[in-house]
Structure 1
Amino acid sequence: MNQVYAMRVFCSLVEAKGFSAAAERMATTHSTISRQVQHLEAALGARLVNRNTRKLSLTGAGEQYYQACLDILRRIDAAALAVADEQAQPTGLLRVSAPLSIGTLEIGGWLPPFQARYPGIHIDLCCDDQFIDLVEGRFDVALRISAPLADSSLVARELTLSEQILVAAPAYVMRHGLVRGVEGLAQHRLLAYAPGGAAVAWALARGDGAPLAVDPAGALRADTITALYGAALAGAGIAMLTRATVQADLLAGRLVHVLPQYSGGQRRYYAVYPNAQHLPAKVRVFVEFMREYYAQAAQPA
């Protein structure tokens, strides 16, 4: 027995004051109304309706149950309406896990316009370069930058592909000169990403050519992208960063593109969330907004 449906049938019976009228009101049959009431009475172990007269009347238990049903059904309908309203105008707390580079370097680009578009959503942002367990950490969505993600129980929505490029501050180029080909990098101060202590090699390719490996260990090794970004901006050397991270700096002239004919490969930006079924509106609009944002941010300067 669908108890909620049976409760609605019972309330309709009371308000229509008859089985036939209730059947018409519920777009069903007289026998269906009668059967639903019988199921309720059997489940409750009490008679709800007096059937021994031509006029319908409630027993004492029936009157009490009717009032309780009205209260329960109002609460159910109010909850459904609240969810529908939230879907129409997303609101509430959105817990987001993101790498440090997004949380510190890119947040200024996307957070203000997102807040302006969805003022009812409040973001709780946790920044960490380690992969966080979304379910255990009670996160609604995570932003990740990686190679293609392995299959998992999580849903991964690709936001954009962002090219890895070499950048340096104009002041650095003024002091040390232009880089003359990949071989010329050996004469420059290179800033290496070293998450485990060992520098991650650069694989630089020109067009469809084979990539050339470069060991960037030299002027600085750091285990966070934010440190490399800060060092590059300060003129300490040449760093490899995603275009999405440095796009605003390239446009503003704070950084310049070094060896623009070479690419360090692509990094994928993902939005990851625990379950695609009944996706909350606040998560859905956030993911769509980030797709729009990165589609613009990844465009060449």
Structure 2
Amino acid sequence: MDRFRAMQVFRSVAEARGFSAAAGRLGTTHSSVSRTVRQLETELGTRLVNRNTRRLTLTGAGERFYHACVEILDRFDGAMRSVAEEHRQPSGLLRVSVPLVVGTLELEGWLPGFLARYPDVRLELSCDDRFVEMGGSRFDVALRISEGIPDLPLVARRLAASERVLVASPSYVSRQGLPRSVAELAQHRMLRYRDDAGYEPPDGAGRGRTQAEPGLQVDTIAALHAAALAGIGIAAFTAKTVAGDIAGGRLLRVLPEHAFGVRHYYALYPHARHPPLKVRAFVEHMAEYYRAAP
């Protein structure tokens, strides 16, 4: 008996819950599938399936053997795919969802390099700050920025962490001056992203979040960035987002002695022992980009 083939047959029987359905999946006959399962039971010395006229169920031993078969077969398939992909380039359509800030303010930093590195990948990019449906016909991978690991039935790989900083334009500072403490933020015009609950310094600078009411509230980080550059008020961003603006003098740090929380960058994709090559390539590229970012 070909044990590897027998495991494939038994897995199909367990998942199809029947010999005929499994035979259809495998392109063989009912009698061949039934005979293979009987041979397995004989070799193992135990019954794997309960047979009756209405349905097929697995015994306790059958359930354990099924899970063992799945692990072995998936590992084998993954190993085959991994070796086969060593000399292949990622290709095909890759559907990616990114936060608006990554698809606008950060796009020139990561996209040209990815497309040059993987010319056979056709990228379909959606910019949206909401968590989105994964798999099916929607997206292959998503990037999200959040305070903690998203509670979703997905693989969540952390790519980077970035402290949150307060910034303002030189024109705003020349008009309104700089706050000297967290408490003084209440005397300034604060700009806030819609889903932001406030500014909470974790370094002991104050208790709880500031009570400063926002002078302007927007629903995209890109709009918040534009408002800050226009000198309208003080806003919070991840340091990675505004590193270039700070280095170029377009924005100035406010209360630089304090850190205002941390945001984590995650790549999210459906559970799989071996994700598609194009997904792995994108995730690794973004991890390298954020590691090298200021």
Report the TM-score range of the alignment, normalised by the length of the smaller protein.
0.5 to 0.7
CA distance in 2 between counterparts of 1:152 and 1:279 reads: 17
**Partner letter of residue 101 of structure 2?**
S
CA distance in 2 between counterparts of 1:139 and 1:94 reads: 8
- Give the structure 1 partner of residue 139 of structure 2: 139
- Give the structure 1 partner of residue 257 of structure 2: 261
**Partner letter of residue 200 of structure 2?**
A
**Partner letter of residue 257 of structure 1?**
R
Does structure 2 retain, via aligned residues, the 8 Å contact 1:167–1:257?
yes
Does structure 1 retain, via aligned residues, the 8 Å contact 2:142–2:267?
yes
Change in 2 beyond 3 A, CA 1:223/1:151: closer
Q: Which runs of 5+ in 1 are unaligned?
A: 6-38, 44-79
1:173 to partner: Cα distance: 1.1
Change in 2 beyond 3 A, CA 1:276/1:253: farther
Deviations 1:75-106 (A, max 9, x none): xxxxx99x935863112221101111211211
Q: CA RMSD in A?
A: 3.0
Does structure 2 retain, via aligned residues, the 8 Å contact 1:87–1:281?
no
Q: Which runs of 5+ in 2 are unaligned?
A: 6-27, 33-79
- Give the structure 2 partner of residue 20 of structure 1: none
Change in 2 beyond 3 A, CA 1:280/1:177: same
Select which of 197, 200, 206 maps to 2:197: 200
Q: Secondary structure at the match of 1:268?
A: strand
**Quick check: 273-282 or 255-264, which moved more?**
273-282
Matches within 5 A, 1:167-206: 167-195=167-195, 200-205=197-202
1:286 to partner: Cα distance: 1.0
Matches within 5 A, 1:106-145: 106-145=106-145
Deviations 1:124-158 (A, max 9, x none): 11111111111245311000111222444310100
CA distance in 1 between counterparts of 2:146 and 2:258 reads: 20
CA distance in 2 between counterparts of 1:85 and 1:292 reads: 20
CA distance in 1 between counterparts of 2:192 and 2:120 reads: 41
Change in 2 beyond 3 A, CA 1:151/1:186: closer
TM-score calculated relative to the size of structure 2? 0.68
Q: Secondary structure at the match of 2:104?
A: helix
Change in 2 beyond 3 A, CA 1:216/1:126: farther
Change in 2 beyond 3 A, CA 1:216/1:186: closer
TM-score calculated relative to the size of structure 1? 0.66
CA distance in 1 between counterparts of 2:255 and 2:286 reads: 29
Change in 2 beyond 3 A, CA 1:103/1:87: farther
Select which of 265, 270, 281 maps to 2:266: 270
Deviations 1:152-180 (A, max 9, x none): 43101000111111011112112221222
Select which of 248, 253, 260 maps to 1:252: 248
CA distance in 2 between counterparts of 1:170 and 1:271 reads: 35
Matches within 5 A, 1:1-301: 84=84, 88-195=88-195, 200-205=197-202, 207-208=203-204, 211-297=207-293, 299=294
**Partner letter of residue 116 of structure 1?**
A
1:261 to partner: Cα distance: 0.7
CA distance in 1 between counterparts of 2:137 and 2:171 reads: 43
Equivalent pairs: percent with the same residue? 51
Does structure 2 retain, via aligned residues, the 8 Å contact 1:190–1:217?
yes
**Partner letter of residue 182 of structure 2?**
V
1:236 to partner: Cα distance: 0.8
Larger Rg: 1
Does structure 1 retain, via aligned residues, the 8 Å contact 2:96–2:140?
yes
Does structure 1 retain, via aligned residues, the 8 Å contact 2:182–2:206?
no
**Partner letter of residue 271 of structure 2?**
N
CA distance in 1 between counterparts of 2:136 and 2:211 reads: 38
Q: Secondary structure at the match of 1:214?
A: coil
Q: Secondary structure at the match of 1:203?
A: coil
